[in-house]
Amino acid sequence: MNSAFLSVSYLLSGVLFILAIRGLASPQTARRGNILGMLGMAVAVTATLMLPEIKDIFWILLMLLGGGLVGIFSALKVRMTALPQMVAAFNGLGGLAAVFISAAEIAAGSPAHLEASLGMLIGAVAFSGSLIAFAKLQGIMPPKAIVFAGQQGINLFFVLAIIGVTAAYTINGDIELFEILVCLSIVLGLLLILPIGGADMPVVISVLNAYSGWAAVGIGFSLNNVLMIIVGAIVGASGAILSYIMTKAMNRSLLSVMLGGFGLEKTEDRQQNSRDRKVAKAGNPQDAAFIMENANKVIIVPGYGMAVAQAQHVLKEMADDLRKDGVEVKYAIHPVAGRMPGHMNVLLAEANVPYEDVYELEEINREFASADVAYVIGANDVTNPLAKTDPNSPIYGMPVLEVEKARTVFFVKRSLGTGYSGVENPLFFADNTIMLYGDAKKVTEEIVSALEQK
């Protein structure tokens, strides 16, 4: 086994990974892309196992088998609404793996102190950060932002301490300093994610994803491994770009998300402002069914509330019934609908909604003017016109779906409550809005039975 063979295998594997991501450019090529990714991994692992340094393979195979079974089992079992927490968990495990690899290198007496420390600390932050993100998404912890006085000062202290200890460890290589560094990094990861609220989770997941990539880069430097650097950089870029897209869709900066505390302060004073003066019109599902079956074009705007109510399947039924009546039905998705980037697309795909019917914000916004009905189900903030008109609103500047341009807007909601941002939606009181109060699934079921009765 010579080094040329290894280099060629790693090159092949790197190319396969790039093609894997490239495949995700369209749903037709995506499955092939994923398989190319698996192939790339298989090539890299096999070539590595054939190295002369690998003298004992029994335990490795055992661990591969065990880890593989755990991974596949949880991947097949997870519900699609719980996808974000599983991605968070996997990210965390990847981060922890990076910590153990660095520790193993140090224990084996590697001289690459700085590189190993970098890989370790990014991995540790990814691990403990993902732990908090998982707990918040899974509902083990309240999803609210946890803020306390002096938080940013403490974080800054930890960052400085980590830089100091890393420098000291790089110079004298004392193993105890490395252990301190592990603890500091894990605590920093916890502190960084605690102040981030539920609505910002899509950003957090993306950032943690980026960390797992940069951790691989760090380990790649410490092991002098080109493939890890290439793959880590691509994953890091992917996480960074997704974070950017998510923050842009919320009109926030990454810094303000990471500093946290969104949706806490401004809630109370705003709620009183207009609540009592205006009256929202309420309708019943039968009226809604009547109006929709006589429409030419209906645009459905699903939000995370739809997923929580598990209404995606009955929603698809409603769309199918309307199509039978000759109504044109489209779905409009805001980038931050759901709890991770692209989450809503997966949930609709799970309900067998063809992806050609699902449109992104920029594609669909000008179509609302020609739509007879906008059916907003479980979404709120992403339709709020205050984002365009009220510079004082915390969501000002956020791109929104312009549902108010449709002739009739149905809002399926439990109450007139505000969304995550704590901002009241003036659309509830607009002349062309009809509120359908109730559980998203029940209301839609009643519409379906009304549609099917005649």
Partner 1 sequence: MTDIWTLLTILVLACFVGYFVVWGVTPALHSPLMSVSNAISGIIIIGALITAGVAEMNTSKIFGLIAVFLASVNIFGGFAVSHRMLLMFKKKKSPEEKK
Residues 106-165 binding partner 1 (CB under 8 A) are 107-108
Residue 381 is a catalytic residue = yes
The three-state secondary structure class of 418 is coil
- Name the residue nearer to partner 1 (CB basis): 190 or 245: 245
Q: Which of residues 341-400 bind partner 1 (CB under 8 A)?
A: 341-343, 345-346, 349-350, 352, 354-358, 360
- Name the residue nearer to partner 1 (CB basis): 208 or 451: 208
Interface with partner 1 (CB under 8 A), residue total: 109
CA 270 to the chain's CA centroid: 29
| Using rule CB under 8 A, residue 337 touches partner 1 | no
Distances, alpha carbon 11 to alpha carbons 15, 43, 44, 228, in Å: 6, 10, 9, 11
Q: Which of 56, 381, 390, 431 is catalytic?
A: 381
| Using rule CB under 8 A, residue 59 touches partner 1 | yes
At its nearest, how many Å lie between partner 1 and the CB of residue 287?
30
- Name the residue nearer to partner 1 (CB basis): 157 or 355: 355
Q: Which of 1, 51, 163, 282 is the binder for partner 1 (CB under 8 A)?
A: 51
- Angle at 403 (CA atoms; ends 421, 348), nearest 5 degrees: 80
| Using rule CB under 8 A, residue 312 touches partner 1 | no
Length of the chain: 454
| Using rule CB under 8 A, residue 212 touches partner 1 | yes
Alpha helices in 173-284 (DSSP H): 175-193, 201-223, 226-249, 254-259, 267-275
Residues 6+ apart with CB under 8 A from 228: 216, 217, 219, 220
Q: Which of residues 1-20 bind partner 1 (CB under 8 A)?
A: 13, 17-18, 20
Q: Which of 189, 195, 302, 335 is the binder for partner 1 (CB under 8 A)?
A: 335
In DSSP terms, which residues pair with 302 in a beta bridge? 377
Q: Which of residues 222-261 bind partner 1 (CB under 8 A)?
A: 223-239, 241-242, 245
| Using rule CB under 8 A, residue 206 touches partner 1 | yes
Q: Which amino acid is at 268?
A: E
The three-state secondary structure class of 397 is coil
| Using rule CB under 8 A, residue 45 touches partner 1 | yes
Q: 47 and 12 in contact (C-beta within 8 Å)?
A: no
- Name the residue nearer to partner 1 (CB basis): 102 or 433: 102
Structure-token pair, residue 79: 């519900």
Catalytic residues: 381
